Amino acid sequence: MRHKIKPADLVQMFESGAVFTAFDTETTGLYPSSDRVIEIGAVKFDKNGLRDTFNILINPERSMPENSLQVHGIDDEMLKNAPVFADAVHGFLQFIEGTRLAAHNAGFDVDFINTELARAGLKPIGEPFVPAADTVYLARKLFPQLEKHNLQFLARHFSIPAGQAHRALDDALVCREVFLRCIAEYRTKHPAENTLF
């Protein structure tokens, strides 16, 4: 099991001024070993607010499976002139440099990115070296009473504008908002610790 960053540690990082990048990927399927990343969206932020956004479509060099198309709506026509991963990823790596990563079900996105990076002969990001903050884990810890913790359910529960679900940038924006709700909930539940920040 991957190491998870404890909520208390995340709150301390956040309040100390750390810059975070919430990111999301869209893919041709569910398996990093055989599927490919087709979109990366990312949102850079800190305790003072939103700093920047990043979004890029990626040519997977294969046709989009119908079942995946039904999920995110990204078709072959949208991707045919997009760069391949090895060319597209450099902008993302530059964007996240010096930031702490966050994602919803972080293991999925980190595994996909790292598998693609390995194919391109590049170094991995995030886990196992610097664990990404997982907003699924945070939401389960801080809002255990909720019946579900998937991104769309949390967006509805917290009245977060979801944009176009299952598109990388919109999901990254929602992930950031869920992260902020979790930080706020932790501080509400642990008021005595707030004096430390």
25: its two tokens: 């990927």
CA distances from 169 to 43, 63, 80, 93, 166 (A): 7, 22, 20, 16, 9
What's the distance, CA 4 to chain centroid?
15
Give the separation between CA 116 and CA 122, rounded to whole angstroms.
Answer: 9
Cβ atoms of residues 115 and 32 within 8 Å: yes
Give the separation between CA 197 and CA 191, rounded to whole angstroms.
Answer: 11
Give the separation between CA 38 and CA 84, rounded to whole angstroms.
Answer: 9
In degrees to the nearest 10, what's the CA dihedral of 155, 166, 15, 54? Answer: -140
Active-site position among 104, 149, 166, 190: 166
Task: Please indicate whether residue 166 is annotated as part of the active site.
Answer: yes
Residues catalogued as catalytic: 166
